[in-house]
Each structure stands twice: as structure tokens, then as C-alpha cells.
Amino acid sequence: MHTVVMIPGDGIGPEVSRAARRIVDATGVPIEWVVEEAGAHMLERTGALVPESAYRAIETHRVALKGPITTPIGSGFKSVNVSLRQKYGLYANIRPVRSIGGRGAGVDLVIFRENTEDLYAGREIRVSDDEAHAVKVITRGASERIAAAAFAYAEAAGRKTVTAVHKANIMKLTDGLFLEAFRKVAASYPGIRAQEVIVDNMCMQLVMRPAAFDVIVTENLYGDILSDLAAGLVGGLGLVPGANVGERYAVFEAVHGSAPDIAGKGIANPVAITLSAAMMLDHLGERAAAEAVRKAVESAVADGSVATPDLGGSGDTEGMTDAIIAAMR
């Protein structure tokens, strides 16, 4: 029996989390779900976006499946996602982007985004009325750690190439250090091709020939942007899963946000969080179940008759979920 913390979150979070839970339960893998509420609705009730009990549950069980949590704009609250990453040392943001059901032909890449530093370290100062600075923090330790995660994954998954994305021609010291770390790690994987691509060129290459890329490793800001670009290649945010992984803890979540425009309508696409749950099953060592979920998602999306509106269909969350469960059986 595995124990997993389930945080349904805000907006469409509860709808898609319920769907993912039904699908995971249908695999037959025994999971005890510890449901913890967090999000804007808890702020009103408890004064905190993430109540202490949710943090305690993550610390106890170490694995969580999380829906989107909205950070109220202008509230002075730090993003929950950023807080969780820092608090639990979730240094690797892993986003597999694959074409599903014929969308984005041949795309099968995995982005390893460094999650803890870069311009997202939050070191900004307003120097004067007319000037503001942000400090870009790159360390050898964090850069080697994310490169090592990317190469270890590539080796285990039988992948051929790891591409480092950078802008070291301009940011010679920071991105230069990132590349130095990448090259050092690459040297201990002689069987895997290591290549380096400048970020602006990478954007063009990804749009023009996305199928040419395999594993990508990059800094926090470039990774954030490339992930959404890549999601757009395969049918949008409703289809792309993600994981935040550290030494001790792992939080699995869809790339998308709380989608307030469609919340409560029952039409959110449950695929992104379901594929995140499949990554979680892999992490728990339940590889056969994870593969079964991915295959069922592929066939439900390819079928099209149950497609949700974001995929151009007129289906709903429940219909898509039922179709995925039916495909598994």
C-alpha cells in the first residue's frame, strides 16, 4: 500500500484531481489518499494558502499529487509553488512533452528545468524611482545537480541526447558556469551525446523541428518559457504533466494553472494531471500501471469523440475520464 497526499487546489483543481484519482484507482494499485485542502478558499478560512496540516502530510508521506493553487495577485503572498520548491528542496522540474493522439507529430522530449535559483531566486531591488535590478543566481552545485538528474534519466530511459539550453554568449559568467557544470557531468556519460543550444535559437528549432529533441536541461527562466512553448506544440496545457522532485520529496502536478475561466463547468481536460499521476506511479515503482495509464490516455485522446473543448471537442471531464478508464480495461 502506498500513501499519497492529494491536494485538489483551486479552480479546476478539484475536478481534474477527482478524475485522476478515479483513473489511478482503476489501475488496481493500492493507494491510500490523504486529502489536504489548500488554496485561495483556505486563505479565507484559515488565513494561510497552505495550512500547516498539508505541510505535515507532505513531510510524513513524501509524495503528493497536487492541483493548481492560485496566488492572489498583489496580496503579498509568495507563490505556493515557489514556496514548496524551496521548502522541500524540489530542485528538478521535469516536464515530459509528447505528442498524444496525433497532435504535434513525433514530439517526445523531456525538459529538466532547474527549480531553485536563476532570476527566480527573488533577489530584486528597486534602486530608484526609475531603476530596478534583479540578481541572477547560478551556482555550480545546483547546475551540476540538475545536469546529473537529466543525464541519469537519459541513461535509464535509453535516450540518446541531452541538450543544454543557455545564453552564455551574452551572460558569460552565469550561463558560462551553468555550461561548465553541464560539460563536467556530460563527461561521465560518454554514451550520451551532449549538445549546447542558445535559447533563442532553441525556440526557433523547437517550433521548426520539435521531433529532433530528446532530453533538454536548462536554467529556471528558460525552462519555464520553453516548457509552455513545448506544451503548445502538442495540444496545449491540458495535456502536459509535470513533476517537482528533490532528494526526499516529490510533488506531481499539471503544468496548467487553476483556469478560472472554465472552473466549475465540468469541462476541464483531466489528461495533464492524469499523466502527472502516471509519473507519480513510476516514482512509486508501479511502472506497469503508469504505462497502462499513458496508453489509455493516448487512445482516449486519439479517439476524439470524448475530447474536451480545449482539444476542439464537445466532451467533458467525466466523459474523458470514463473513456480513459474504459481504455485501460
Cβ nearer to ligand ATP, comparing 138 with 272: 272
Distance (Å, rounded) from C-alpha 191 to C-alpha 178? 21
CB of 16 to ligand ATP, least distance (A): 6
Nearer residue to ligand ATP within complex by CB, 17 or 174 = 17
Bridge partners for 98 per DSSP: 108
Give the nearest distance from C-beta 278 to ligand ATP in angstroms: 15
Of 52 and 261, which has the nearer Cβ to ligand ATP? 261
Residue 156 CB-density burial (10 A; 0-12 exposed, 13-18 middle, 19+ buried)? exposed
User: Can you give the binding site for ligand ATP, defined by CB under 6 A?
Assistant: 12, 16, 68, 70, 237-238, 256-259, 261-262, 268-269, 272, 308, 310
Contacts 24+ apart (CB under 8 A), 116-121: 116/85, 116/86, 116/89, 116/90, 116/91, 116/142, 116/220, 117/142, 117/219, 117/220, 118/219, 118/220, 118/221, 119/220, 119/221, 120/82, 120/220, 120/221, 120/224
Catalytic residue flag (residue 167): yes
Classify strands 124-128 and 131-134 as parallel, antiparallel or unpaired.
Answer: antiparallel
Q: How far is the CB of 294 from ligand ATP (least distance, A)?
A: 17
From 78, 160, 172, 200, active-site residue: 200
Give the residue nearest to ligand ATP (CB). Answer: 257
- How far is it, in rounded angstroms, from Cα 110 to Cα 93? 10
CB of residue 119 vs ligand ATP: minimum separation in angstroms?
18
CB of 69 to ligand ATP, least distance (A): 8
CA distance 144 to 180: 9
Residue 200 bears catalytic tag: yes
Active-site annotation holder among 118, 224, 310, 316:
224
Give the shortest CB-312-to-ligand ATP separation in angstroms: 11
Residue in 167, 175, 214, 310 annotated catalytic? 167
Q: Which of 88, 120, 153, 222 is catalytic?
A: 120
User: Are 253 and 216 a contacting pair, CB within 8 Å?
Assistant: no
- C-alpha grid cell, residue 82: 515557489
Q: By C-beta, is 99 or 174 nearer to ligand ATP? A: 99
Q: CB under 8 Å to 285, separation ≥6 — which residues?
A: none
Q: What is the set of active-site residues?
A: 120, 167, 200, 224
